[in-house]
Amino acid sequence: MALHTFVILAYEESDDLEECIKSVLNQSVKSNVVIATSTPNDYILDLASQYALGVMINENKSNKGGDYNFAINSSDSKLITIAHQDDVYDRNYTKEIQKCYLKNKDASIIFTDNYEISGDKKIKQSKKLFWMRFFLFPLRFSIFQKKKFFKVRALRRNKYICTSSVTFIKKNIKKDFFPTDLVYDNDWQGLLVLADDNTKFVYLPKKLIGYRVDNHNESIEKNKEDMNIRKSLYPKWYFDKVINRQKKS
């Protein structure tokens, strides 16, 4: 059994799926790689066949949270990374994750820095990435990695932990912890569930994944889910005075 597995979540017919597959197969330290999907089609199955990958089909009516839970449950590896089909992994991602795991076997997640991909451009510095690194900074140090305050701090204003960069240590996480009653923020709320546990969130400050920016993922429903999560994490007085003022500005 492989120590680490990439479970690639595939949906519909993404032009970026093959690039993601190539990036996880091209790791300097080899991992097991499988595809998980709730939308099986010839495009996904043909790519899987081309690269000799197994396909796990989620036959239950599902959403993002259900698909994430299915992906984790599909592997018996100690370490599992849910790879989104749009994202690209540096060839040393697995090597760095495994090296970190050997020093942090009591962690629930190990995650890395990332850069953004917009079209053909790699964006490694931006206002958003600056704030991401600012809020994640304490989780570089073991003294803070078990502290709920610092784990939640990394998730309070925004989901600054990039889900695609996360490797889950299976024995240290709850079963089916991603909620299935949300449409967009299942991963954000799921990470907040893990932040409640007395396990470590370990941050590797290395840009080992390219996250493809989705400029079309805004909707009234998503904004509503975002605000509901933020509201649950702040005192009412702070939320009313500060968060709403930022929203209007």
Angle, vertex CA 114, rays to CA 178 and CA 218, nearest 5? 60
Residue pLDDT, tens place only, 1-33: 689 999 999 999 999 999 999 999 999 999 999
Residue pLDDT, tens place only, 66-123: 999 999 999 999 999 999 999 999 999 999 999 999 999 999 999 999 999 988 889 9
CA gap 146, 188 in Å, rounded: 18
Sequence-ordered list of residues with C-beta below 8 angstroms from that of 222, at least 6 positions apart, any chain: 183, 184, 185
Residues making up the chain, counted from first to last: 249
Residue 226: HSE in the Cβ half-sphere, 13 Å Cα cutoff: 14
Return the closest-CA partner of residue 88 out of 27, 131, 149, 148.
27
Q: Which residue has the tokens 């899987």?
A: 48
Residue pLDDT, tens place only, 192-219: 999 999 999 999 999 999 998 875 556 7
Grade residue 226 by pLDDT with cuts at 50, 70 and 90. confident
Taking the domains of the chain in order of start, what are their residue ranges?
4-215, 218-249
28, two tokens: 């300097």
Pairing of β 200-212 and β 54-57: unpaired
Please provide the average confidence, as pLDDT, over all residues in the chain.
91
In the predicted model, what is the mean pLDDT of residues 119-142? 93
30, two tokens: 């080899």
- Would you say 29 and 93 are in contact if contact means Cβ atoms under 8 Å apart? no
Domain 4-215 homologous superfamily, CATH:
Spore Coat Polysaccharide Biosynthesis Protein SpsA; Chain A (3.90.550.10)
Residue pLDDT, tens place only, 150-204: 999 999 878 899 999 999 999 999 999 999 999 999 999 999 999 999 999 999 9
Using a cut of 0.75, tell me whether the model's pTM lies above it. yes
- Which residue type is seen at 178? F
Sequence-ordered list of residues with C-beta below 8 angstroms from that of 224, at least 6 positions apart, any chain: none
